[in-house]
Every structure is written in structure tokens, then in C-alpha cells.
Amino acid sequence: MGKKQFYRSMMVIAMPIALQNLITVGVSMMDTLMLGSLGEAALSASALANQLFFIFTLVIYGTAGGTNVLVAQFWGRKDRESIRRTLAYTYRIVLLFAFIMVALSLFAPRMVMHIFTNDPEVIALGADYLRIVSVSYLFFGIATISGNVLRAVRTVRIGLIASLVSLSVNIVLNWILIFGNLGMPEMGVSGAALATTIARICECITVLVYMKYFEKKIMLKIRDLLHLDRSLRRRFIQNSVPVICNEMLWSLGFSLLTVIIGHMGTAVTAAYSIYNVVSQLSSVMSQGIAAAAAVIVGNTIGAGKQGQLKEVIARLQKAAVGVGLFAF
């Protein structure tokens, strides 16, 4: 593949993923803007409560990253059966971890908030937010894993469409529920949590409907999820566990920084939550290139073209440097 064709192929994968990440950041940005009008306590409560979701998100991304290594290789040799078996493992891990996080948020939300702040008002608001938004973890996990597996087989548009649905629902419901418009009660922080939950449910439904009725590459069936292939277990663990541990350690380190900032006062926490949105905006294209790299390298290995890897990796590294400089 010539350089122009290679980079064009890379951007076909990277751009929808970057736009999807941009939309995801947009959801956080709208929450920040709308809750910011209610005061520093409301903004800080949602930002600190979402640290649990941040940890959950990175574990899910780690799981998806490890899964995509396998799925991209299987797709390189068009082994659909192994893709479906790998997806069955992944769904089980995601749901198990999601249930743990949901239980923690439902039954010990104040304990979670105490880790990040000692402000009584912020703790109370954050606990209310956690109880409601925790349900969305299950739907977010399934949608994210499904979307990432579809990326590995070069189906990237559905993730973008699902994110657009989520953003639209979130903005409209935020306006209605946070401020009490259209005859609804003014719910404040709890309204933002409910809006986010409904938006993630809609996102998950969009992806699952596509996989059920329109997806033609993997062709996943319910029966594929009921049985586990023990022959894949070792390979799945070897590829997924290191990535999951990497993401979890990084998220814990980042959350420790939030713990420190959370105990410096409500105003500092509110300012930090705004900074986070700006920081995420600058990294969306880098994430798109990284996801495209995982797909391209995996497909190349799966197709048995290891001799081309050196050139492929060199081109990807050049693209990464260019995108990094642009983000800077």
C-alpha cells in the first residue's frame, strides 16, 4: 500500500473515532456548562462523583483494547467464529466489573464521596448523583465494548451515530431536568445524573439494534454469548489483563490527583473540572490515531503479513508525532 493510500485508510478509521470522542467530551462539557450555572458546589459534586465513572471507563477501555488485539487479528484472517467467542468473554468481564461499581455507588455513595472531599454539601449532592448515574455503567460498558469490537472489523460509523444520539438526548434532558423546564420539577444535580443515564441507555440501544439487525461482518447471536470457548481463555488473558492493569493503575494515579485537589476546596475543584474538559478536547485526535493503529496492526498480523509491520509501524509513528504536535 502506497503512503497516500495508507494514510487515507488510517484516517477513514481515525476520524470517526476522533469525532466520537469529541462528542463524548461534548457531553461532559454541556454538563459542566449547565451545572456551573447552579454554583460551585453542584459542579464540584458531579465532577468528583464522576471519578468513579472515570476509573470504570479506563478499565473498560483497557478491556476493549485487549479484546481488539485479538479481534483485529481474527478479522485479518476472517475468523468470525473466534471473534464471537472473544466477545462472549469480554461481555462477561465488563458486566462483572459494572455490577461491582453499581453496587458501590448504590450502597456506599457517601463513602465514595468522602474519599474525594470533606465538604458536606458536595458529599450530599455527589451521593445523590452517584445513586442515579450508577445504573448507566452497565449500558455504557456494553455499548463501549460493542463499538470497539466493531471498530476492529472496520465498522466505525455506528459508534459515531450512537454518540450523536447520546449527546442530543443528554443536552435536551439536561435542559429539562436540571432547570425544571417543560413543566418538570427542577432537579439540579440529580437531573443531570438522570439525563446522563437515559442518554447512555439510548446509546447502548442504538449500538445493539445495529448489531442485531444491520451488522453483517460479525453476525453475533445470543447463543454465541451463552457458551465460552476454553481454548481462548489463555490467549484472552494474555492480551487483555496487561492492558486492563495498565489502564487501572493510570486511572488510580489520576484519581489520586483528584483526591488532593478535592480537599483543597470547592472553588479549586470546580476550576479543575473545567480544565479537564479542555484537556480532553486536545487529545481526541490522538485517541483516534491510537485506535486506528490498533486496528491496522492487528489486521496486518492476522492476515499473516508480519513482514510489512516495520513499515506500517514507522508510518503510524510519524502520524502520531504530527497529531501530537498539532494538539500541543
Question: How many other C-beta atoms can be found within 10 angstroms of the C-beta atom of residue 120?
Answer: 10
pLDDT higher than threshold 70 for residue 196? yes
The pLDDT of 207-217, averaged and rounded, is 90
Q: Considering the entire predicted model, what is its pTM?
A: 0.82
pLDDT digits (tens, 9 = 90+) for 6-19: 888 888 878 877 78
Largest CA distance in the chain: 64
Rounded-to-10 torsion of CA 234, 238, 244, 249: 130
Give the Å distances, CA to CA, from 204 to 34, 140, 180, 208: 24, 7, 26, 6
Cβ(117)–Cβ(49) under 8 Å? no
**pLDDT of res. 191:** 92
What phi and psi values does residue 87 have, to the nearest 5 degrees?
A: -65, -35
Cα(136)–Cα(145) distance, rounded to whole angstroms? Answer: 14
Handedness of CA 319, 321, 325, 328 (dihedral sign): positive
Query: Do residues 105 and 131 make contact, with C-beta atoms less than 8 angstroms apart?
Result: yes
pLDDT value, residue 21:
75
Residues 91-130: pLDDT tens digits? 888 888 899 999 999 999 999 998 888 889 989 999 999 9
Query: Which one of 194-208, 209-223, 309-323 scores highest in mean pLDDT?
Result: 194-208
Instruction: Quote the percentage of the chain above a pLDDT of 70.
Output: 97
Per the CB < 8 A criterion, the answer to whether 14 and 323 are in contact is: no
